[in-house]
Chain A
Amino acid sequence: MPRLSYRRALTRALADEMTRDESVFLLGEDIRVAAAGVTTGLLKKFGPERVLDTPLSEQAFTSFATGAALAGARPVIEFQIPSLLFLVFEQIVNHAHKFPLMTGGQCAVPVTYLVPGSGSRTGWAGQHSDHPYSLFAHVGVTTVVPATPADAYGLLVSAIRCDDPVVVFAPAGALDVRDDVTDLAPVPLGRGIVRRPGADVTVVAVGHLVHDALAVADELAGQVSVEVFDPRTLYPFDWDGLLDSVSRTGRLVVVDDSNRSCGIAGEIIATVVERVALAAPPRRVTRPDGAVLPFAPALDRAVQPGRDQLTAAIQLTCKDG
């Protein structure tokens, strides 16, 4: 069975979609030499007309992609650094996202924003270590955070085919995951998956944290039966899938690499408690409020959600009620 890395799954998705659809093209910084290791081989295969190295002009090339999409192309932008999304939030939210409604449905803006290496890369400090997926869910831009190579492939393919802007966060903590993958296929946007069935508590884990949640669930096996739910898409969220899980377990813990205030964990908990009477108060494990990742490795780790915190949250939630 072929072992596929998460990073190579992204490459395959780009190559397959570029082959399938002439209107797909890539742009970004240093993508011809594949500095981020995702666009490897694509320049040779598709040529410089479809693999555009841009100057360091994030705002202009993000809106350039919006314009190209308005004219019928399907651009994929690679952002080298997750924090660059703050710089282009205006271009994505105020233009790409708003154009279809503001024009009364005259246009579509099918742009994919691919962020390989989102979140902490350890040692990249304050301005290279953000994980701003909750911001995009908040403004209503389709947002996916694949955890596995198969989902990295399938969600990126679906993002490119989507007629709306989609942000694809490929967490640094998942980029080196390898899996046995037999069948590469599109994964529908907006559909979560139960990664591990369990009876006592539902743990919602986002992106690379799915792997931490699975490890913790293994460690706790025998004490607590943990169900791990991977939403895969944060906006639109698979509320039906999650409610189905929580209705069975009656308990909820969320682990999310966002800052605590207004992070997606808060939205997940709020929506669940609006709909389900839980057996115990739900808990969340997140970055602290207002987190800026400090440089020193121990400090960097200290502000990210960790397995110990998740274990404690699960145990407390299962003790209550």
Chain B
Amino acid sequence: MTGPDPVGLYRTVRLIRRFEERAIALVDAGEIVGGIHPYLGQEGVAAGVCAALRPADLVTGTHRGHGHVLAKGADPARMLAELCGRVTGLNRGRGGSMHAADFGVGVLGANAIVGAAGAILTGAVWARRRRGDDVVGATFFGDGAVNEGMLLEAFNLAALWRVPVLFVCENNGYATTMPVEGAVAGTIAGRAAAFGMPATAVDGQDPEKVREVTAAAVARMRAGGGPELVEARTYRFDAHHTFEHRVRLDYRPPEEVAAARLRDPVLIQGARLPAEARAAVDAEVEATLAAAVDFALAGPAPDSATALDHLYASGLTARTGGG
């Protein structure tokens, strides 16, 4: 579905919201080790962008990547199992929160190195199109990434070779604790302009607006246009990482957070549905996630003897580390 689908969009933002809340509870319960980077508040971006893509289109996500993976269509149960480090997870428990990938639905991985995925996705889309596949890509990154040289190199390469990649900047105002105004000289859209790429700013809290902007950009790209940039202005409702739930970092005024929370993408999209339709989706999401938690926790932990399985696609085996 790439046309308007208010119910579908609501289902996605609601799913991501409740998935993240469940995941935080599992962090607190010790079932997810290492913590997560919650996507709470930014759901409208992943949902809106992916609603304008086709199943065959390709996506890369970030360390704050659960929303991207879910919105592109990964199974929440296998996603949650991955977060819990189980063999039943998307990555067989080898990737975890920051590397969740599902090549089957076009997710070439969340990527934990800021700004690194843009060039990877550009190469993947280029190679698929060279083979004759009619695909486009969307690569998500935060405002912190716009100061990474390799991302700017990727802008140049994609624009130069007219690879249809949508560069989606999720500007949530902070790179960890660094405010945008302390880190970004010039503007985010100005970086796109420097490479001759169209750039559109959109209210990232409104899933439908994100979908519209993305659909228009994707239509231009499919018609032979080059890459584009979308700057989705959004806000992270929760911590940079769940460790902040234990260690309080003082970098956002509480009133700023409170004001931002009033523009909640789940409520904004939910308000577009009749109450009974919304309730039906909510019930469906709860059932999906209850089953997902059961599935995740029932999955076996990997056998330590398999720790280096999949290290080499060629079948090469590494020497072990023991004496």
Is A269 at the interface (CB under 8 A from chain B)?
no
Is B34 at the interface (CB under 8 A from chain A)?
no
Residues of A within 8 A of B125 (CB): 67, 71
How far is A214 from B92 in the complex, measured between Cα atoms in Å? 49
Closest chain B residue to A111 by CB distance? B123
Is B309 at the interface (CB under 8 A from chain A)?
yes
Closest chain A residue to B135 by CB distance? A71
Contact B312 A70 (CB under 8 A): no
From A64, A102, A106, give the contact of B122 (CB < 8 A).
Answer: A64
Most B CB contacts (10 A, CB to CB) among A62, A99, A101, A140 go to A101
How far is A57 from B122 in the complex, measured between Cα atoms in Å? 14
Rounded to whole Å, the gap between the CB of B114 and the closest CB of chain A is: 12
Check A164/B314 contact, CB under 8 A, given A60-B119, A102-B109.
yes
Q: Mark B84-123, 1 if CB is under 8 A from A, else 0.
A: 0000011111110001011100001101010010011111
Contact B149 A59 (CB under 8 A): yes
Closest chain B residue to A97 by CB distance? B311
Chain B residues within 8 Å of chain A by Cβ, number: 46
Contact A73 B127 (CB under 8 A): yes
Query: Which secondary structure dominates chain B's binding surface?
Result: mixed
From A73, A99, A140, give the contact of B109 (CB < 8 A).
Answer: A99
Residues of B within 8 A of A67 (CB): 108, 119-127
Is B150 at the interface (CB under 8 A from chain A)?
yes
> Which residues of chain B from 15 to 49 have any CB-CB distance to chain A below 8 Å in the complex?
none
From A64, A66, A162, give the contact of B314 (CB < 8 A).
Answer: A162
Rounded to whole Å, the gap between the CB of A89 and the closest CB of chain B is: 12
Contact A68 B311 (CB under 8 A): no
From B92, B153, B154, give the contact of A104 (CB < 8 A).
Answer: B92
Is B291 at the interface (CB under 8 A from chain A)?
no
Q: Mark A52-66, 1 if CB is under 8 A from B, else 0.
A: 001101011111111
The 30 listed contacts between A and B (C-beta, < 8 Å) are A49-B130, A55-B157, A57-B153, A57-B156, A64-B157, A66-B119, A67-B124, A68-B124, A70-B108, A70-B123, A71-B128, A72-B131, A90-B113, A90-B116, A91-B116, A91-B119, A91-B150, A95-B113, A95-B116, A102-B91, A103-B91, A103-B99, A106-B91, A106-B102, A107-B103, A108-B313, A109-B313, A142-B314, A142-B316, A164-B316
Q: Name A residues whose Cβ lies closer than 8 Å to a Cβ of B.
A: 49, 54-55, 57, 59-73, 75, 90-91, 94-95, 99-110, 140, 142, 162-164, 190, 236
Counting from the closest, the 9 A-B pairs by CB-CB distance are: A67-B123, A104-B92, A60-B153, A108-B313, A64-B123, A63-B119, A67-B124, A105-B310, A104-B91
